[in-house]
Amino acid sequence: MPFDALFVPADVREATGERAWVQAMLDFEAALARAQGDAELADDIASASVPPLTDPSSGSPVPELVASLPDGAHRGATSQDVMDTAAVLVAKRTLPLIDGSLSAIASRCAVFARDHRSTPMPARTLLQQALPTTFGFKAAGWLVAIDDVRWLLRDVPLEAELGGAAGTLASFGDQGLDVLAAVAAELELDEPVLPWHTRRVRIGQLGAALALTAGAVEKIALDVKLMAQTEVGEVSESSAGGRGGSSTLPHKRNPVGAALAIACAHGVRGAASVLIAAQAQEHERAAGAWQAEWEALSRALALSGGAAAALAEALDGLEVHADRMRANLDLTGGLLLTEAVAMRLDRADAKAVVSAAASRASASGRPLREVLIEDGAVSLSEEEIDAALDPSAYLGSAEAFVDRALEAHERRGDGG
């Protein structure tokens, strides 16, 4: 793809490229030979040299591949057996790379959660400041989401495919089930109940899990880019090596990692929609919906890897500006804490009294603190008012939730 090197890490690009597919196809053919007891043939297959596959005349690259293999190879298999098992092997080999970045993201989120467990900042609903929260609480939410999607990815069964021309393994006589089991074991893949030539639930599930993964990554990237806004300034991506800079606009610190992660997430959704829509496959092999999966799966994997890697890098170098978080809390002159003040008033109309004070403060531009002190209906001392207006004193269960999230993360282990 144009400019793929900007979006997808080299190892993920390699693991999802045509050479990785061809290697996986050879691995299938070798496993098939071995499953039929022909270790020598399997070795010959493994060392076969395969030219670029470019012949569309059969609608799949398999016949051209098989033509490069020694006699006896591919016995009993159909093209779709090769492609489907290769697809699953490509996934199996790429998913750990993606998970590596997800694990790095989770670790950074855990550090943020721990370090900033009590760092106050504004919670924002509909992009308006609402009440105080802590940056650790925000990061704890990110962490849970990342662990959730890691689990979803691990939960997708990766099954070997072997059915022969009609899915019945006819040419193996009564040995079919044994060969299938041996191929699956050889490749360390799950064994399906029966061939899945047109039962694409797992491919769709994998696509969906990748889209959800990219979505979880995108949510964090979205928060990062919003917090990095010039007017908000609560975080900055690293500027090491000129990253995120602009030659013409030297003051800029662009959230480049967040932007790339979001861009990748868009692409994953597009590719995943192809995989999800491709379930409707005719009879025993589809004419179109199946062939559409190869690119879509490759891209869903590659761009999920890109999204995760870009966010991991963004978080790795992320500078957290606790002072700006605190300053932003003060932007509304205490209005953020009217609820906290009202809860300390011991009168039935507490909410109305404080709301009225807040309105006066808002209209006059004066700090709520001053207006409250003057307000005869507010029976609180200055010290009590200051305590009520302290964001750190109105965090509810934020810190307890952080602890729960960190415990859950520990419990799940690095396996997501």
At residue 192, φ and ψ (nearest 5 deg) are -75, 155
Report the distance separating Cα 27 and Cα 89, nearest Å: 9
Least separation in angstroms between residue 305's CB and a second copy is: 13
Told to judge if 246 belongs to the known catalytic residues of this protein, a careful annotator would answer yes
Comparison of 100 and 270: residue with beta carbon closer to a second copy:
270
Do 285 and 80 form a contact (C-beta atoms < 8 A)? yes
Instruction: Return the number of the residue (380 or 408) whose C-beta is nearest a second copy.
Output: 408
CB nearer to a second copy: give 21 or 112. 21
Of the two residues 363 and 376, which places its CB atom closer to a second copy in the complex? 363
269 part of the active site: no
Shortest Å distance, C-beta 90 to a second copy: 8
Which one of 108, 253, 269, 285 is the catalytic residue?
Answer: 285
Instruction: State how far Cα 111 lies from the chain centre.
Output: 19
Integer Cα distance of 35 and 26 in angstroms: 14
User: 210 near 268, Cβ under 8 Å?
Assistant: yes
39/393 with CB nearer a second copy: 393
How far is Cα 48 from Cα 403, in angstroms, rounded to an integer? 55
Nearest distance from C-beta of residue 381 to a second copy, angstroms:
20
Q: Residue 373's CB: how many other CB atoms inside 10 A?
A: 15
Tally of CB atoms within 10 A around 383: 8
Confirm if 315 and 238 have CB atoms less than 8 A apart: no
User: Which CB atom, from 283 or from 366, has the smaller least distance to a second copy?
Assistant: 283
What gap in Å lies between CA 256 and CA 260, rounded to an integer? 6
**Torsion-angle region of residue 232: left (phi > 0), alpha (psi -120 to 50) or beta?**
alpha
The least distance separating a second copy from the CB of residue 354, rounded to whole angstroms, comes to 8
CB of 131 to a second copy, least distance (A): 4
Distance CA 36, CA 18 (A): 27
User: Cα separations (Å) of 328 from 231, 233, 253, 366?
Assistant: 9, 9, 19, 16
* Shortest Cβ 261–a second copy spacing (Å): 7
CB 217 within 8 A of CB 307: yes
Catalytic option among 47, 246, 364, 379: 246
Active site positions, annotated: 246, 285
